[in-house]
Amino acid sequence: MNEDLPSAPAPIADVDTQLELALRERDIILANAGVGIVFVKQRIIMRCNTRYAEIFGYADAQAPIGRSSIEIYPDEAAFKQLGAEAYPVLASGQRYKTERLMRRRSGELFWSSMTGRLIAPEDPGQGSIWIVDDITEQKLAQDALAAVTAEQHLILDHSMVGIVFLRERRVTRCNRSFEQLFGYAHGELDGSSSRQWYLTDADWEAAGQRCYEPFKQGRAFEGEMLLRKKDGTPVHCEVRSKAIDVKDLSRGSIWITMDISARKNAESALVQAKDDLEHLIKKRTRQLQQTVLAMEQKVLEQQRAEAHIQRLAHFDALTGLPNRVMLAERCHQALEIARRHGESLALVFLDLDHFKNVNDSLGHRFGDELLKILARRLKTAVREQDTVSRLGGDEFVLVLPGTDAAGAGHVAEKVMELAGEPFQIEQNELNVTPSIGIAMYPADGDGFDALCKCADIAMYRAKQDGRNSYRFFTAQMQAESVRVLQLENSLRRALEREQLSLVYQPQVSLLNGRVIGAEALLRWQHPELGWVSPAEFIPVAEASGLIVPIGEWVLRTALAQLKRWLDAGMAPLVMAVNISSVQFRHNDLPELTGRILEQVQLPPELLELELTEGVAMRDPLGAIAVMSDLHQRGIRLSIDDFGTGYSSLSYLKKFRVYKLKVDQSFVRDLGDDPEDRAIVSAIISMAHSLGLRTIAEGVETMDQLQFLRSQGCTEVQGYLFSRPLSAEAFAAFVAAGLHLPAEHSELGPESG
Domain boundary among 420, 439, 473: 473
Average pLDDT of the residues of the chain: 85
Q: Are residues 467 and 548 in the same domain?
A: no
Res. 580: pLDDT tops 80: yes
Extract the runs of DSSP E, i.e. beta strands, from 473-549: 500-509, 515-526, 530-532
Name the residue among 630, 521, 631, 516 with its Cα closest to residue 574.
516
Amino acid 3: pLDDT:
43
Res. 743: pLDDT tops 60: no
CA distance 175 to 196: 17
- Percent of the chain at pLDDT above 90? 44
Amino acid 745: pLDDT:
38
Name the residue among 99, 103, 100 with its Cα closest to residue 71.
103
DSSP character string of 113-180: EEEEEES-TT-GGG-EEEEEEE-HHHHHHHHHHHHHHHHHHHHHHH-SSEEEEEETTEEEEE-HHHHH
Res. 311: pLDDT tops 90: no
Q: Are residues 111 and 222 in the same domain?
A: no
Q: Are residues 171 and 114 in the same domain?
A: no
Give the tens place of pLDDT for each residue, 509-563.
998 889 999 999 999 998 888 898 888 888 888 878 888 999 999 999 999 999 9
Q: Are residues 496 and 585 in the same domain?
A: yes
Taking residues 249-256, report their average pLDDT: 88
Name the residue among 632, 633, 692 with its Cα closest to residue 660.
692
Amino acid 363: pLDDT:
87
Whether 297 is covered by a domain: the verdict is no
Domain boundary among 259, 274, 292: 259
Output 687 or 306, whichever has higher pLDDT.
687
pTM of this prediction exceeds 0.75: no
Taking residues 337-349, report their average pLDDT: 94
Amino acid 267: pLDDT:
83
Q: How many angstroms separate the Cα of 17 from the Cα of each of 8, 10, 14, 24?
A: 18, 11, 5, 10
Res. 350: pLDDT tops 90: yes
> Do you find a cis peptide bond into 422, omega within 30 degrees of 0?
no
Confidence grade of residue 596 (pLDDT, cut at 50, 70, 90): very high
CATH code of residue 245? 3.30.450.20
Domain count, the chain: 4
Confidence grade of residue 747 (pLDDT, cut at 50, 70, 90): very low
Structural domain of 207:
159-259
Amino acid 656: pLDDT:
78
Res. 750: pLDDT tops 50: no
Output 614 or 691, whichever has higher pLDDT.
691
Taking residues 309-316, report their average pLDDT: 76
CA distance 643 to 677: 13
Amino acid 521: pLDDT:
96
Output 158 or 570, whichever has higher pLDDT.
570
Give the tens place of pLDDT for each residue, 184-193.
999 898 999 9
Q: Are residues 418 and 548 in the same domain?
A: no
Whether 287 is covered by a domain: the verdict is no
CA distance 340 to 333: 11
Whether 48 is covered by a domain: the verdict is yes
Q: Which of 328-337, 620-629, 684-693 has the highest mean pLDDT?
A: 328-337
Confidence grade of residue 16 (pLDDT, cut at 50, 70, 90): low
Taking residues 713-733, report their average pLDDT: 95
- Percent of the chain at pLDDT above 70? 86
DSSP letter for 438, please: E
Q: Are residues 118 and 201 in the same domain?
A: no
Q: Are residues 567 and 518 in the same domain?
A: yes
Q: Are residues 230 and 340 in the same domain?
A: no
Res. 310: pLDDT tops 70: no
Q: Of the given ranges (432-446, 636-650, 673-687), which has the lowest mean pLDDT? A: 636-650
CA distance 17 to 12: 9
Res. 349: pLDDT tops 90: yes
Amino acid 746: pLDDT:
37
